[in-house]
Amino acid sequence: MALNLNRAGFSRNNGNKTGSSKNNCSIMSGSGFDISEAALRNALEMAGELVSVVNKVPVTVFLWKPQKYWPAEFVSEHIRQFGYDVEEFTTGKLLYGNIVHPDDLERVERELSRRIEEGCTDFSQEYRIVTKFGESRWVDERTFIEADKNGVVRYLKGIILDITERKREEKLLYIQRNLGIALSSSIDLHETLEILLDSCLQIDEIDAGGIYLIDEESGDMRLAIHRGLSSNFVQHASSYSANSPNTKLVMIGQPIYKQHIDLLLTSRDEHLKKEDLRITALIPVKHGQKIIAAFYLTSKVEYELSDHVRTVIETIATQFGVFISRIRLEEKLKDCVKKKKG
């Protein structure tokens, strides 16, 4: 970390040596500074304390050179939250630009260049970085541009805050809002099912799933629509009789969150053991007290779903219960009209 020598207790004396007592030793620098030993010790202690404070705050602090991909002269220890070590950056093994998401890198570079050209001293932007484990994380970066009196940029200081959870919550709210708008104009059952399932698959943690409908007469459970599930899964899990353990589990009426392997309840499900699926949500859909459908949503990556994601999924299921009942009623009315005309 660079120190401001004048503010750290150093003084210019035009080449004349000052302060030579035993208790106030000085060191003459080639640039004409007398460096008091006590002042140097205090400056180093202050620098150490500053670094200690920086390492304790829940942000990552960088000091970059204004060069391609931003080589780092300093990075705080909080970089470890992304899987990296401080030394990977300070030794030049990694440049900061190397961990900016490839889809965001050009935008980040362009924004920095624009701000420098406009003479800004600080600005903020949001983008993604890639952790050492390959995960994408959203960050909010506050950048401070340090330039000399001629406007030449000497350093860039960055404060990086992980905002991934906030971005996820914003996205979930966006999904719910758009779903409500789409459902309000939907009049076809299949179209409604597509809208619902596509909305669920916009959730980052969910990448495959389907919607089962409960037959009103037989009570059997049939897969009406699916996305991202293998042909093997569809072949062996497309329908369950009313008396099967799978249907009975849905008819209990409670949301279930388990690993895929733990939801294989019958000998027929043996064919599904090799499916590359992890956390799975089985969400009954109700209209009043009657269960009319079920969401089957799963992840090929995640082993758990957060409480917030669970709440959103269950809210979508509740919305579905209202709309599917309305659409089914409308379809029955249309059938009655056709029969009368016939």
Q: Distance (Å, rounded) from C-alpha 38 to C-alpha 40?
A: 5
Q: What is the reported pLDDT for 143?
A: 95
Q: What is the reported pLDDT for 216?
A: 86
- Residue among 236, 240, 234 nearest 220 (CA): 240
Q: What is the reported pLDDT for 288?
A: 78
Q: What is the reported pLDDT for 27?
A: 42
Tokens representing residue 139 in the block = 């960050």
Tokens representing residue 249 in the block = 């589990």
Superfamily, domain 57-162: PAS domain (3.30.450.20)
- The answer to whether the 57-162 and 167-341 domains have the same CATH topology is yes
Fold designation for 167-341: Beta-Lactamase (3.30.450)
- Contact at 8 Å (CB) between 203 and 313? yes
Q: What is the reported pLDDT for 53?
A: 47
Tokens representing residue 251 in the block = 């008819």
99: left (phi over 0), alpha (psi -120 to 50) or beta: alpha
Q: For 24-144, where are the alpha helices, taking DSSP H only?
A: 37-56, 86-90, 102-117
Mean pLDDT by 10 residues, the chain (342 residues): 36 41 44 54 52 63 93 92 95 96 96 94 96 94 92 92 90 80 72 87 92 93 96 94 95 95 86 93 89 94 90 86 68 71 66
Q: What is the DSSP letter of 112?
A: H
pTM attached to this predicted model: 0.61
Q: Distance (Å, rounded) from C-alpha 251 to C-alpha 58?
A: 45
Q: Sketch the domain layout of the chain as residue ranges.
A: 1-46, 57-162, 167-341
Q: What is the reported pLDDT for 4?
A: 38
Q: Distance (Å, rounded) from C-alpha 2 to C-alpha 43?
A: 11
DSSP secondary structure of 270-336:
GGGTT----EEEEEEEEETTEEEEEEEEE-SS-S---HHHHHHHHHHHHHHHHHHHHHHHHHHHHHH
Bridge partners for 240 per DSSP: 221
- Contact at 8 Å (CB) between 149 and 169? no
